[in-house]
Amino acid sequence: MTTEADLQAFLEIATEAALAGGAILQQFWGKLDTIQEKRPGDLVTAADQAAEAAILAVIRRHFPQHQILAEESGHLGNPDSPYLWAIDPLDGTTNYAHQYPFSATSIALLIHEQPQVGVVFDPFHQELFRAATGLGATRNRQPMHVSQTKSLSDSLLVTGFAYDRRETPDNNYAEFCHFTHLTQGVRRGGSASIDLAYVACGCLDGYWERGLSPWDIAAGIVLVQEAGGRVTAYDQSPQQLRSGRLLATNGRIHTALSQELIQIKPLVWDPPVFNAQDQT
């Protein structure tokens, strides 16, 4: 059985690891020699790799018996352990590569496959978001809570677009346009962990996205839930971490956002066909 004291200890180690990773990101800022592409639109840099190494060193030093799921290294450690660390050393690599300062380190601990501890650290704005089940959520160690917004028309939302958006009609374009008309605005930050942290602290009222990996959202899920918000699948059924889809809100607009979201039809877009005669 995991006690409150255990969760507090896990939270402190997750914080240590997140700060270590964030320090590496600051060191590499503006100094990248090469940027690689794992797949179209999915970048990786030396900063990702170095930050992950620093994070792994902290986790392994304290919990060598735990298993790890890290974005760059994959599955590591004891596969039979009920404790799984989900690590994204640099969430927002495209932003980072372009020196757009909206990126973070995201670290979560899952216990029996349920996110229980989450830390998101934005080293460029020196913002540290922390939460653990039953312990509440904080922003720079001060309590944080979701917003009080009650209607979609008064809300500010955020979303993102997956790497495969060019190849699939399930690309979030229609949803983006739909909610832009229904709300006060829809933002696209480019870092799922920060998006969730901003829902948790009340800067944003809701977030939805597809094409996500567990390390993108596990920490943010804990933040939102402990800050008083709600996280589910699009249809309000229990959220499945490996589904790649997530709906997170302040709770007050959750049903309305879900009802709109599940009835939106994909935007079918046929790219123009290039014809040499067009240039004559």
**Beta partners for 268?**
none
The domain defined by 152-261 folds into: D-Maltodextrin-Binding Protein; domain 2 (3.40.190)
Q: Where do the domains of the chain lie?
A: 4-143, 152-261
Phi, psi dihedrals of residue 132, rounded to the nearest 5°: -150, 150
Nearest to 1 by CA among 78, 82, 77: 82
User: What pLDDT, in 10s, does the model give residues 137-150?
Assistant: 999 999 999 999 99
Specify the pairing of strand 42-45 against strand 35-39: antiparallel
Which pLDDT does position 35 carry in this prediction? 77
CA 202 to chain centre: 16
* pLDDT attached to residue 1: 85
Question: Quick check: 280 pLDDT over 50?
Answer: no
Confidence of residue 272 (pLDDT cuts 50, 70, 90): low
- Of the pLDDT bands very low, low, confident and very high (cuts 50, 70, 90), residue 163 is confident
Nearest to 203 by CA among 229, 178, 180, 165: 229
Q: How far apart are CA 122 and CA 129, in angstroms?
A: 8
4-143 carries CATH number 3.40.50.2300: no
Residue 176 has pLDDT above 50, yes or no: yes
What does pTM read for this prediction?
0.92
Q: For residue 271, what pLDDT band results from cuts at 50, 70 and 90?
A: low
Residue 274 has pLDDT above 70, yes or no: no
Q: Name the more confident of 274 and 27.
A: 27
pLDDT band, very low/low/confident/very high, at 169 (cuts 50, 70, 90) = low
Distances (CA, A) of 226 to 83, 117, 132, 138, 196: 20, 10, 7, 9, 12
Task: Map residue 39 onto helix, strand or coil.
Answer: strand
